[in-house]
A and B are shown apart, each in its own frame.
Chain A
Amino acid sequence: MTWAWVAPAAVACAIWLMAQQPPKRPGFVDVAPRSKIPYITNNSFQGRKYFPQPMCGGVAAFDFDNDGRIDLFFTNGAKLPELKKTEPAFYNCLLHQKTDGTFEDVTARAGLTGADLDFNFGVAVGDYDNDGYEDLFICSVGRNVLYHNNGDGTFTDVTAAAGIGAKPPNTLSIEAAWFDYDNDGLLDLIVSNYTIWNPKSDARCMMNDLDYYCDPRRYPSVPHQLFRNLGKGKFADVTVKSGFAAAPGKGMGISIADFNDDGWLDVFIANDTEPNSLFINKKNGTFEEKGLELGVAYNENAQVGSSMGSDAKDFDNDGKVDIFYNNLMNQIWALLRNQGRAFQYYSSRTGIQKLSMSYSGWSNGFIDYNNDGWKDIYSANGDVDMMSLRSPQHDTMFQNVEGKSFVDVSEGLGKDFLQKGYQRGSAFADLNNDGALDIVVTSLNEPPRILMNTAGSGNHWLLLNLVGHNSTRDAIGAKVKLTTASGRVLYNHVAVSVGFMSSSDKRVHFGVGAETGIASIEIDWPSGIRQIIKDAAPDRALTVDEPVK
């Protein structure tokens, strides 16, 4: 044998060995301390417990100034029982991402402190006027507000002019989501309402002279609201006409997807201690609530849980959109597999039942954190109340094992990921455009964490920025089918409303594992247009414009 033979053999051997190595598991590092962030989630807790306090700290990840870097926005609470943002500690917060990856506070300059608002909950990001700049809708105990992005780094409160803020007095609005329900190319808005409440009507629950948060079941359910975008910055409340008024609930997370694959977007709402709702779009401006019929309203023993945040994605890559929502401790987080005609409860057979039992989850989402092509399940955890040692909790990541089961990999994701607290809102985004999804998390009465994915799994990825022209510019709901060079098929869609009270990066993320080629990308735009892109290269962010009709 000569050296001429040995060298190629050694190289081949090394390549083979590398191919056999399991991909390295990435972790998460909190980079928030690198920036001067004035925001601390402030629910005004001072001993007396008010009902809305556990629901504080919505977060949005979006690029408000179109500089190609994702910025962050946080909602905040208010002084109780005054129900006013009496001091800057209660202000909302807009953080602009600078070129070096740190964040600067631009809230005041943008006009987004919300000083005139009260206790805020969720934030929904959407370019409702298709001007290329993302706008914000904020949910509140009192007045909900629509901020128009002026495109110059400032926002204007246009709620009154838009006709979108009205709601029955004292209605708690928790979360909102933008979507185009009538396929007219304009984003409409669904608002998940929870109950009727104000500080004076707050029920006080005590045990041994200690306050605890009352059971939500003592408060009534209320209808969610649907607002139709009429164009030119105007909206009409179509709650009754559309059928939403007929199915009240205690709305928490909202997930938008075309669950029955008919080309029209449907709405799933996780209702706390009430049956969950699945509003099926009847393609004529109305919806029919079919949660029970389709198997998502209750758990498999026909019981309700404390449904919190939700996400709707295809976890097993079978082409059908599934649903996940989390629950409180000792309940079971629900993974509902879409079987076409109905959903099947999949928590037990996938291991979610066992993994979730000891956690109280709030925000969550399907996130392929290691780019292996399987969407994992992230959850921001922490109990409602602060009653025991088990109440403060860390986040969890349940890794998807080929769409069949999940394993808890949280312990391996680093100390920042495992920080205990009362985590609430969360948003996913590729903050540094490296192809690995990062997570921004709020925690009650703590600064937020900006968890950067350490990447380095060795897996490949693709990030798609879909720009609608016939469809809404945000292309919310656009479906993407990606086929790798080897024939592996992956599915995803544009979804901004993810988890609880939060909005995630609208770009569609795909991990493609070890594959270095993409045979095709098929996009079904909400307008009905199908677009196919052949032979794309991975490891890049790709902007795709919808073909004009």
Chain B
Amino acid sequence: MARLCGVLVFLFWRSAANGQDDPERLLRSAIALQQAGDIERAIPQYRAYLKLRPDAVEPRSNLGVALARSGRYNEAITEYREALRRRPGDPTIRLNLALALYHLAQFTDAASELSSLHKEQPANQQVILLLADCWLRKGENRRVIDMLSLIESSNQGDLAIAYLLGMALLRDNQVDRGQSIIDRILRNGDSAEARLLLGTAKLTAQDYDGAIADLRQAAELNSQLRDVHSYLGQAYIQTGDTAEARSAFQKELALNPNDFESNLQLGALLKQDQDFDGARLLLQKALLVRPGDLRTRYQLASVNLAAGKLDEARLGFEAILRQAPQFVEAHISLATAYYRLNRKADGDREKALAQKLTLEQRTKPSQEKME
């Protein structure tokens, strides 16, 4: 009986509360709170309003913005998608959705939204820059070059465009063109961005000491600059200084938790240190950024091999080889896994395959001039 009374009191209170707030008052209140920066109190107001007016697009979009501002990107994405279902193609909501996806390192989905926006609004510079950045992170350097080259001449003074284009050119080994962009950035005075690009160019040219000097200077000029510590780590790895590399990747990840290379490389370093759990965590994060990336999957399977999780390692290498049967290192590692699983015949088969592939790759026409 007491329990029944409690339920009745609760229902009465709830009905009274609802009766006190009509939808328009709720919306006004939510907007006012959001404008005042009180995001945490605005969110329930929006939710209460949307319960009463589920088809309202603007308030749902506002809720998405509020959720994104409080770092709840997954919830924001749900709201944006719901809003877009009701108003397909809305450019503002789409851009906000892309931004939320970007923050969650879902660069493939973000790039997809931004590509559509770019088609509709080819002059929108914010979209161009975001899309270029997504492609850059996905390693799609050629697409960045193609897109930014079209607008480069009409935006000579835009350092952001120069920076992204320069980075893509250097990553695509187009060092000369990349160098001309660096020169243009340097004409605007020494800057962290210019030093970063210079360092990247030297890294590509295998001048590792030079790269480290420039990248360190970039970090001194702006320690918050994205990518600088990641490249510094990569340069240190090339000099064999794994301790400095580790520290640089850690700094990058503190600023930029979704940086692909830092997650991948630090994961590989942790594997060397036999910190297998730590390595797995980072490599899985790298896979979130670049789903299906073979290098990362190979490292992940290698971690399992080193950790003695032989069946998991075997499954990982087998899956890689189904997708990339020419991946010699995966054949070698799979052979090792088979041998350790006492599957000698399978190990011998993989070893022979690796040898055959190596031979085939070596007999491809050489670049060397023969006399």
- Cα A298 to Cα B331 in complex, Å, equals 12
Interface size on A, residues (CB 8 A): 30
Q: Which of A203, A217, A300, A330 contacts B362 (CB 8 A)?
A: A217
Are B272 and A293 in touch, CB under 8 angstroms? no
Are B366 and A218 in touch, CB under 8 angstroms? yes
Are B273 and A204 in touch, CB under 8 angstroms? no
Nearest Cβ in chain A — how far from B114, in angstroms? 35
Q: Which of A203, A298, A354 contacts B241 (CB 8 A)?
A: A354
Q: Smallest CB-CB separation from B351: which chain A residue?
A: A292
Are A292 and B273 in touch, CB under 8 angstroms? no
Q: 5 tightest CB-CB pairs across the interface, nearest first?
A: A357-B240, A302-B329, A302-B332, A354-B240, A293-B339
- CB contacts (< 8 Å) of A348 on chain B: these are 242, 269, 272-273
For A292, A303, A353, which residue has the most chain B Cβ atoms within 10 angstroms? A292
Count of CB-CB pairs between chains A and B under 8 Å: 64
One digit per residue, 1 when the CB lies within 8 angstroms of any chain A CB and 0 when it does not, for chain B 335-371 equals: 1100110000001000100000000001000101111
Q: Which of A293, A301, A357 contacts B329 (CB 8 A)?
A: A301
- CB contacts (< 8 Å) of A356 on chain B: these are 240
Are A204 and B272 in touch, CB under 8 angstroms? no
For B240, B243, B368, which residue has the most chain A Cβ atoms within 10 angstroms? B240
- CB contacts (< 8 Å) of B126 on chain A: these are none
For A297, A348, A349, which residue has the most chain B Cβ atoms within 10 angstroms? A348
Other A-B pairs, 4, CB within 8 Å; known A302-B333, A330-B206, A348-B242: A302-B330, A302-B332, A302-B336, A358-B239
Are A293 and B336 in touch, CB under 8 angstroms? yes
Interface size class, chain B: 20 to 34
Q: Which residues in chain A, 351-380, are within 8 Å of chain B measured between CB atoms?
A: 353-358
One digit per residue, 1 when the CB lies within 8 angstroms of any chain B CB and 0 when it does not, for chain A 271-295 equals: 0000000000000000000001101
Are A205 and B339 in touch, CB under 8 angstroms? no
For A300, A342, A349, A358, which residue has the most chain B Cβ atoms within 10 angstroms? A300
Interface presence of B238 (CB below 8 A):
yes
Interface presence of A464 (CB below 8 A):
no
- CB contacts (< 8 Å) of B362 on chain A: these are 217-218
By a beta-carbon cutoff of 8 Å, the part of chain A in contact with chain B is 203-207, 214-215, 217-218, 292-293, 295, 297-298, 300-303, 330, 332, 342, 345, 348-349, 353-358
- Cα A301 to Cα B336 in complex, Å, equals 12
- CB contacts (< 8 Å) of A357 on chain B: these are 238-240
- CB contacts (< 8 Å) of A293 on chain B: these are 336, 339-340, 347
- Cα A297 to Cα B355 in complex, Å, equals 12
Are A303 and B329 in touch, CB under 8 angstroms? yes
- CB contacts (< 8 Å) of B351 on chain A: these are 292
Q: Smallest CB-CB separation from B335: which chain A residue?
A: A292
Are A292 and B239 in touch, CB under 8 angstroms? no
With A298-B332, A353-B242, A357-B239 as given contacts, are A206 and B371 in contact (CB-CB < 8 Å)? yes
- Cα A342 to Cα B306 in complex, Å, equals 11
- CB contacts (< 8 Å) of B269 on chain A: these are 348
19 pairs, A vs B, C-beta closer than 8 Å: A204-B370, A206-B369, A218-B362, A292-B335, A292-B339, A292-B347, A293-B347, A300-B302, A302-B333, A332-B240, A342-B340, A348-B272, A349-B272, A353-B242, A354-B242, A354-B243, A356-B240, A357-B239, A357-B240
